[in-house]
Amino acid sequence: MEYEAVIGLEVHAQVKTRTKMFCGCKNEYGGEPNTHVCPVCLGLPGALPAPNVEAIRQTILTGLMLDCRIAEVCKFDRKNYFYPDQAKNYQITQFDMPLCIGGGVVLDKYAFPKEVQKEVYAAAEKKIRLNRIHLEEDVAKSTHYATESGIDFNRCGTPLMEIVSEADMRTPEEAFAYLTTLKRILNYGDVSDADMEKGQMRCDVNVSVRPVGQTKFGTKCELKNLNSISGARRALAYEIQRQIETVRGGGVITQETRRWDDAAGQTYVMRSKEDAHDYRYFPDPDLLPVRTDSGLRAEAEARLPELPRQKKERLVTALGLSEYQAEVLAADKALGDYFEVAVGDTKHGAAIANYIINDFLATEPDTADIQIPARHFSQLAELVSDGKINSKQAKEVLAEMLVSREEPALIVKKKGLEQVTDLGALEAFCDEAIAANPKSVADYQSGKLGAINALKGFVMKKTKGQANPALVDEVLKKKL
| Shortest CB 70 distance to ligand ADP, Å | 20
25 binds, among Zn ion, ligand ADP, none (CB under 5 to 8 A by kind): Zn ion
Q: Which is nearer to ligand ADP, 126 or 303 (CB)?
A: 126
Which of 83/121 has CB closer to ligand ADP?
A: 83
Q: Which stretch binds Zn ion (CB under 5 A): 23-31, 61-69, 131-139, 200-208?
A: 23-31
DSSP sequence for 170-183? -SHHHHHHHHHHHH
Q: Measured from the CB atom, is 153 or 238 closer to Zn ion?
A: 153
- With respect to ligand ADP, which residue has the nearer C-beta, 10 or 406? 10
Decide if residue 25 touches Zn ion (CB under 5 A): yes
Q: Would you count residue 21 as binding Zn ion (CB under 5 A)?
A: no
For 262-325, give the secondary structure using H, E and C: CCCCEEEEEEEHHHCCCCCCEECCCCCCEECCCCHHHHHHCCCCCCHHHHHHHHHHHHCCCHHH
- Kindly state whether residue 64 participates in binding Zn ion, applying the rule CB under 5 A: no
Q: Which of 10, 28, 38, 382 binds Zn ion (CB under 5 A)?
A: 38
Among 5, 21, 41, 321, binds Zn ion (CB under 5 A): 41
How many helices (H) and strands (E) the chain has is answered by 17, 17
Closest distance to Zn ion from the beta carbon of 137 (Å): 10
CB count within 10 Å of CB 39 equals 12
Q: How far apart are CA 253 and CA 293, in angstroms?
A: 45
- CA separation for the pair 269, 291 (Å, rounded): 42
In total, the chain counts a number of residues equal to 480
Alpha carbon distance 21, 58 (integer Å): 12
**Region near Zn ion per CB under 5 A, out of 9-17, 39-47, 130-138, 329-337:** 39-47
Instruction: Give pairs for 377-380: CB < 8 Å, separation 24+.
Output: 377/342, 377/352, 378/342, 378/343, 378/344, 378/346, 378/348, 378/352, 379/407, 379/408, 379/409, 380/355, 380/408
**Shortest distance in whole angstroms from residue 133 CB to ligand ADP:** 12
Shortest CB 105 distance to ligand ADP, Å: 12
Q: What are phi and psi of 12, to 5 degrees?
A: -100, 125
Shortest spacing between CB 178 and ligand ADP, in angstroms: 11
Task: Please tell me the distance from the alpha carbon of residue 4 to that of residue 214, in angstroms, as a whole number.
Answer: 9
Quote the DSSP letter at residue 225: E
Picked from ligand ADP, Zn ion, none, the partner binding residue 207 (CB below 5 to 8 A depending on kind) is ligand ADP
- Residue 441 makes contact with Zn ion by CB under 5 A: no
Output 4 or 323, the one with its CB closest to ligand ADP.
Answer: 4
* Interface residue list for ligand ADP (CB under 6 A): 6-10, 164-167, 206-208, 217-218, 220
The minimum distance between CB 85 and ligand ADP, in angstroms, equals: 19
Backbone angles phi, psi at 136, to 5 degrees: -150, 180
Nearer to ligand ADP, 98 or 349 (CB): 98
Question: Binding partner of residue 232 among ligand ADP, Zn ion, none, CB under 5 to 8 Å per kind?
Answer: none
Stretch that binds Zn ion, among 30-38, 131-139, 196-204, 413-421 (CB under 5 A): 30-38
Question: Which position's Cβ is nearest ligand ADP?
Answer: 8
